[in-house]
Structure 1
Amino acid sequence: MDRPPWENNYVKHSIGHSVRWAGVITAIAAISAMAADPVSAQTAPLATDELITPAFVMEPETALLDQEGGGKLFRIDNQRLLVMEGTPAEMGFQHGRLLAKEIRHIIKEGYMAKAFYAKGYSKEYIAAQSERMEKHFPPEYIEEMKGLVRGLEAAGVTDIAYEDIRTAVTQAEIAHHKPNEPPELNRSGAAAPAEHCSNFAVWGKWTKDGRLLHGRNLDWNIEDGAQENAILLVWRPKGGIPFMMLGWSGGIGSVSGMNAEGITIGEMTSVSSEETFDGLPLMLLMRRALEKATTLDEAVAIIEKGPRTTGWNFIIGDGKIPSARALEVDAVSCGVFGPLDPKETDRTGHWAMDDAIRRTNHPIGEAQLLKLAIRYGAQYGIDAGNLQAALPLLKMQNTWKRYDWLGKQIEARPGGMDVSEAAQLLANPPVGGPDTETLHAFICDPANKTAYVAVAGANPPVPAPLTRFVKIELANWFTRSAGASAQ
C-alpha cells in the first residue's frame, strides 16, 4: 500500500524511525545484559585526527543589497543578513519590504508549499491549529506580523495574507504531528523518538581560554528547500536587547540564536505524552528568551513560564559566566539540568560532565523518560513502569549514540576545544555527515559576540556543516554605529 501523503513529510522527523525501533524489539532478550553493563552499549569514539574539519570563511566579503528605513539587507559571503530596527510594526514592515520576493517563494513555491500543502496538511487544518497557538502570542508579535504584510504589499506582493505569516511561526509544532491529528494530553503516540538535532556547550577546562562555545545542528529537512530562503535575522528593537536568529524569510522567530547579552539558545525535538497546541509556539518562545533575558537564569525562567506546547529539549548558554543549562520540556513540565547534574546518572543510562552540557532528541531525566515509556511502551511491548527494561532499547537509538559520542569527543580534548574542534563535532557521524538532514549549524562564541554559521546547500542538497562556516561578527550588527561601519 502506498505511503499516505503526510508520512512522506513526517518520516524525516520520526515515523520512519519507528521501523528501526520495531526491528530491534526482537533483539531485546539478546541485549538485555547491556542494562547491567552500560559501557558495553556506548559508542566507540573516533580518533580526533580522523575527523573531517569543515571549511571556514574567516574574513567574508560584505555588501549592502537594499534598505528600508532603519532596516538593511546585506550579503555576507554565501549568506544574507537582515537588520531590522525600531518598533514592532516598523521592523515587520522592513522585513516584508526587503524580503518580499523570498517570502512569496517560500510560501507559494518553496518549503511551505512542499512540506505542508503538498503532503496532506490542509490550509483549514493549519489555520485551526495556528489559531490555538495565536491566543498566546504577545500583542507586539501580532503587530510585527501585520507590519510584515504591509511591507509585502508595499513591495507589490499582495497574495500573502497574515495567516500565511502566522503559519511561519507555528510550523514546528504542526510538522511534528500527522495532518488532522493534533496532540492531546496523555494520549499514547504512534511514532518513535526523532533522530535529528544535536547541541552542546563547553567552557572552563574544555576550551582553550575557558570561554563558552555553543555548537548546534538543526537536522530538519533539506530535500524540500527551506535553505533556499534562509536568512540571518537581527532585531534591534526600540529600547530592547538586540538579538539574532538563524531563520527563514517571513518568520518572526526561529530555533537558534544569540543576543547582545551573550545568551545563546538551540533546541532539539523530543517527545512526551503531555503535548498540546494550546501554548506559545516554539519559535516565539525561543525568540522571547533572546529578546528579554540578560542572564542565564532569566532565560531559563522564560522557558519555564511558557506556556509551552510539545516536547522539546533546549540548551541555553551564557558567555558572561560562563555556563549553560539543558532543559527538557513538554506542555506541563520543565526539567532543568546543570553541569555534573545528579539527575544525569547511570540509573537513566547517561553520564554528566563538568563544564559541559549536551543533548540530542531524548530526555535524560527520569520523569521525562517515564513519560516516553508511557507514550511508546505498549507499542513495543515494554512495561511503562520498568525504566531499566527500556534502557537497552534506548541505547540502540541514534539519539543516544549522538549523546554518548559528543561526551567522549569532548573528553578527548581537555583544554583543546576551539571553534574548529567544535565544528568537527557537528560535521562527523553520528552527529553530522553526508547522510544527515542538517539545515543549518552554528558555533556561537558569545564572549566575542561572534557566530560561525553554515547553511545547507541546495541543488543538490548538502548538509550544512559540509558546506562552509561563515564568521559573523555580531557586534557589527547589534549597535547602530557598528552596523553602519559594517556597510
Structure 2
Amino acid sequence: MATQFLNRTLGFRSLSAFALVAVVCTMPLRADDTATKTANRDGVEVTGKLESIDGARVLTVWGKPHERGFAHGYLLAPDIVALLDGYLRETVTDTAEFEQRAQAFLRMMSLLPRYQDEVRGMLEGIQKRLGDTARISSLDRAITYDDLFTVACIPELSRLACSSFAAWGSLTGDGGTVCGRNLDWHGIKALHGTELIIAHLPDDSTRSRGWVSVTWPGFAGALTAMNDAGVCGSLHDVPALRPTMPFGFTPRAMALREALEAAGDDTAIEKFTAVFKKRIVLVGNNIPVAWPHKPDGGKPFAVIEYDGNLAMDRGVTVRQDEYPPADGEANRATMKRHSRKTMIDPPPRYSDKPAQRTETYSKQEFLICTNHYCLRAAPQSCDRYEKLQDQLVTCSQRGIPVDPSRAWELLRSVACDGSRLETHHSVVFEPNRRRLHVAFAKDGKPAPACKPVSFNVDALTARGLAKPAASP
C-alpha cells in the first residue's frame, strides 16, 4: 500500500516516521498600507515579528515571498533546527539510506516559483541567525534547502487521521457558520509544545490574500487555516486511487495554501477546485472547506475529495450532501458512477441496506468529514464520523444550537488520547466573524480538553503593523 511504500522508500521506522510537522492579536494595528522592514536589536532587518498572545506564540510575516521566508527562518531558526533534528532522532534508523531515498522522493515533487523563493528565504534566515550552528546533528551536516522542501512534503510521508464538521443557519443559533477541526497525528515527542500561529499578511506582489495558519515552525504549507475572507480549510487523509502521473506532484499542504490565498467567500468552491485541478497530488485527501453563511447563499461548507487519479473528475470531486457510512443508495450510486479502479488501499465493503436518509440529510444544516470518501469511493464505517453524526442529528432534532461551546464538546468526543494517535491541535472557526479559537495539546491532554485562545483574523492579517516585539 502507498503508506507502506513511502515509509519503506524513505527508510522510516514507522508510519509516522518523518512527520515533522504538520509541518493575533485582537489589538488594532496601524492603518498604514505599507509593510516595512523592522530592525532587530542585532541589526538584522526582517519583515516579521514574533510575540506571545495569551500563552500562544504568534509569528506575523509580510513582504515578498523571499522576505517572508527570511523572517520565518530568522525568527524561528532555533525552533526549526531543533524540531527537525529531534524528529529525525526519534524516527530515522539509517540516516544514509534516508538521505538517498529522500532525494529520490523529492525528484517527484514540485513547488511554485514563489514558494521556492520563500523556502530559500527561510534557509537564508536560519543561516543568518545561527551561522555555523545551523546544522542537523543527527545527519551530521548543515541544514539545506532540500531539508525545508522535505518538511513541506511531510503530509505525504506520514498520514493524518483527523475529524471536522460544520453547522450553519438555524442550527447555529446566530445563523452563521461554525466549523470544528481536530488534527490527529502520531505522538512524536519533538512535536509536543512546539506549535504556533503564523499570520501571513496579504501580498500584492503575488495577489495573495492574507491567511492565518495553525502549524509547526518551518512548515510553509497549510494544515489548518483561515483566510481574510473567512474561508477556512484543512487536510484529512483518505485511502485513495493511484495517481495517473509518476511525478510532478505538488505537496498537498502547498496546494491548500494556494487555494486559501485565492479564495473569496463568494468564490471558495470555484477557486479551490480550480487550484486542485492544476496541482496533482500523490495521496488521497478530504479537504473540508467552510465560508461565511448567507441566508440566500446556499450551503457554506463542502468536502473536496482530492487525489491524483485524473481519470475521475480530473482528481477533484465536491461533496455538499451528507452520505452516512452504510447508506446503501449512496454506495450504489458511487459504484455505478465510477468503474472500480485499483486502489492504494483495498476498497471497503459496502452495505446494500436500503437508504432512508439521503433526502433528509441533503436538507440538514451540517456536514461531517473524517477519513473516507463518500463519492470517489464507497463510504465506509468510521467511529468518529458516526459519533459526530449522532450528536449533530440530536442537536438538529432538539433545537440545540451548535455554537462554539457546543463545537468544543463535539471535538472532545472524537479526540485521540495518545494511545495510538494524538489530537495535537483543535480549532473552532467562526467564518462569519472571521475568528478562530485554537487549543494545543498539553500535559498529556488532547487539544480540545485544553484551554483555547481566540484570534481575530481581521486584526492578524491587517496591512500595517504594530510595534514589533523584541527580537530574539
Answer yes or no: same fold by TM over 0.5: yes
Amino acid aligned to 2:179: H
**Would the alpha carbon gap of residues 101 and 310 (structure 1) be closer, same or farther in structure 2, given more than 3 Å must change?**
same
Given that 2:72 and 2:122 are in contact with CA atoms closer than 8 Å, whether structure 1 keeps it comes out as yes
8 Å Cα contact 2:241-2:308 kept in structure 1: no
Inter-CA distance 301–399: structure 2 relative to 1 (3 Å threshold) = farther
Determine if the alignment matches structure 1 residue 264 to structure 2 residue 216: no
Residue type of the partner of 1:299? F
SS at 1:206 equivalent: coil
Aligned amino acid, residue 155 of structure 2: A
Q: Structure 1 residues 403 and 107 mapped into 2: Cα distance closer, same or farther (>3 Å)?
A: same
CA shift at 1:341, angstroms? 7.4
Equivalence for 2:195: 230
How many corresponding residue pairs? Answer: 388
Deviation at 1:469, TM superposition (A): 1.1
**Cα offset for 1:119?**
9.5
CA distance in 1, matches of 2:93, 2:402: 43
What CA deviation, in whole Å up to 9, does each residue of 1:264-322 have, x standing for no partner? 00121101231466411111011111111112222233223322221111110111546
Equivalent-residue separation in structure 1 for 2:263 and 2:222 (angstroms): 16
Identity of aligned residues (%): 24
Matched, 1:296 2:268: yes
By how many angstroms is 1:228 displaced? Answer: 3.0
Among 378, 395, 399, which residue is 1:414 paired with? 399
The CA deviation at 1:452 is 0.4
Distance verdict in 2 for CA 1:480–1:116, change over 3 Å: farther
CA distance in 2, matches of 1:71, 1:289: 23
Q: Distance in 2 between matches of 1:427 and 1:98?
A: 33
Find runs of 4+ consecutive structure 1 residues off by over 6 angstroms: 4-7, 118-121, 341-344
Flag the 1:126–1:224 CA change in 2: closer, same or farther, 3 A. Answer: farther
Which TM-score applies when normalising by structure 1? 0.71
Report the counterpart of residue 190 of structure 1 in structure 2. none
Provide closer, same or farther for how the CA distance between residues 327 and 108 of structure 1 changes in structure 2, counting only shifts above 3 A: same
Equivalent in 233, 249, 262 of residue 279 of structure 1:
249
Instruction: Please state if 1:75 is matched with 2:75.
Output: no
Task: Look up the SS of the partner of 2:239 in the other structure.
Answer: coil
After superposition, residues 127-206 of structure 1 pair within 5 angstroms as 127-134=103-110, 137-157=111-131, 158=134, 159-176=142-159, 196-206=161-171
Deviation at 1:401, TM superposition (A): 3.3
> Whole-Å Cα distance in 2 between the matches of residues 360 and 258 of structure 1?
19
CA 1:338–1:480 in 2, change beyond 3 Å: closer, same or farther?
Answer: same
Deviation of 1:406 after TM superposition, in Å, equals 5.2
Contact 1:117 1:123 in 2 (8 A): no
SS of residue paired to 1:80: strand
Q: What SS is found at the alignment partner of 1:304?
A: helix
Instruction: Write the letter of the residue equivalent to 1:87.
Output: K
Describe the SS at the equivalent of 1:217: strand
The separation in 1 between residues aligned to 2:237 and 2:461, in whole angstroms, is: 29
Say if 1:345 and 1:398 are closer, same or farther in 2 by CA, change over 3 A: closer
Q: Which amino acid aligns with 1:143?
A: D
Q: Report how far residue 7 of structure 1 moved.
A: 7.7
Structure 1 position 235, deviation (Å): 1.1
The residue identity in structure 1 corresponding to 2:268 is: L
Contact 1:300-1:316 within 8 A present in 2 as well = no
Distance (Å, rounded) in 1 between the aligned partners of 2:223 and 2:412: 19
Cα distance in 1, alignment partners of residues 93 and 229 from structure 2: 39
Q: Is the 8 A contact 2:17 2:92 kept in 1?
A: no
Contact 1:198–1:402 under 8 Å retained in 2: no
Indicate how the Cα distance of structure 1 residues 144 and 413 shifts in structure 2: closer, same or farther if over 3 A, else same. farther
Cα distance in 2 for residues equivalent to 1:346 and 1:303 = 29
Q: How much has 1:340 moved relative to structure 2?
A: 5.6
Residues 84-112 of structure 1, C-alpha deviations (whole Å, 9 max, x = no match): 00000100010011001101111112x34
Are the counterparts in 2 of residues 255 and 282 from structure 1 also a CA contact under 8 Å? no
Which whole-Å CA distance do the structure 1 matches of 2:277 and 2:391 have between them?
A: 26
Against the structure 1 CA distance between its residues 403 and 346, is the aligned structure 2 distance closer, same or farther, given a 3 Å change threshold? farther
**How far does residue 168 in structure 1 lie from its aligned partner after superposition?**
0.9
Cα distance change of structure 1 residues 327 and 117 upon mapping to structure 2, 3 Å threshold: farther
Q: What secondary structure sits across from 1:361 in the alignment?
A: coil
Give matches, 1:29-428, under 5 Å.
Answer: 68-109=45-86, 111-116=87-92, 122-134=98-110, 137-157=111-131, 158=134, 159-176=142-159, 196-239=161-204, 240-275=208-243, 278-294=248-264, 295-297=267-269, 298-319=271-292, 321=294, 323-332=300-309, 333-339=315-321, 345-347=327-329, 348=331, 352-353=361-362, 354-365=364-375, 367-369=376-378, 394-395=380-381, 397-398=382-383, 400-402=385-387, 404-405=389-390, 407-408=392-393, 410-411=395-396, 414=399, 416-428=401-413
Q: What secondary structure sits across from 2:213 in the alignment?
A: strand
Q: Tell me, in whole angstroms, the C-alpha distance in 1 between the residues paired with 2:291 and 2:261.
A: 14
* Structure 1 Cα separation of the partners of residues 398 and 103 of structure 2: 49
Structure 1: segments with no counterpart, 5+ residues: 14-57, 177-193, 370-390
| Distance in 1 separating the partners of 2:108 and 2:388 | 34
Deviation per residue, 1:161-208 (Å, 9 max, x gap): 1111101111111224xxxxxxxxxxxxxxxxx7x2111111112101
Structure 2 CA distance for partners of 1:150 and 1:11, relative to 1, 3 Å? closer
Partner in structure 2 of residue 181 of structure 1: none
Contact 2:280-2:307 at 8 Å conserved across structures: no
Rounded Cα–Cα distance in structure 1 between residues aligned with 2:105 and 2:17: 21
Q: The residue matched to 1:262 in structure 2 has which SS?
A: coil
Shift in CA distance, 443/12, structure 1 to aligned 2, threshold 3 Å: farther
CA deviations on 1:373-396 (whole Å, 9 max, x unpaired) are xxxxxxxxxxxxxxxxxx8xx43x
Q: Secondary structure at the match of 1:448?
A: coil
Match of residue 469 from structure 1? 452
1:484 matched to which residue of 2? 466
DSSP 3-state at the match of 1:9 = coil
How many Å separate the matches in 2 of 1:426 and 1:206? 17
What does the per-residue CA deviation read over 1:394-439, in whole Å, with 9 as the maximum and x for residues that have no partner? 43x43553454454355356351111100111112x4555655111
Aligned residues of 2:202 and 2:461 also touching (Cα < 8 A): no
1:346 is displaced (CA, Å) by: 3.8
Give 1:387's aligned residue: none
When the two chains are superposed, the root-mean-square deviation of aligned CA atoms in Å is 3.4
93-102 or 346-355, larger mean C-alpha shift: 346-355
Residues 241, 291 of structure 1: 8 Å contact kept: yes
Match of 2:35 in 1: none
The alignment's TM-score, normalised by the length of structure 2, stands at 0.74
Whole-Å separation in 2 of the counterparts to 1:149 and 1:84: 15
Aligned residues of 2:17 and 2:158 also touching (Cα < 8 A): no
Q: Which amino acid aligns with 1:334?
A: V
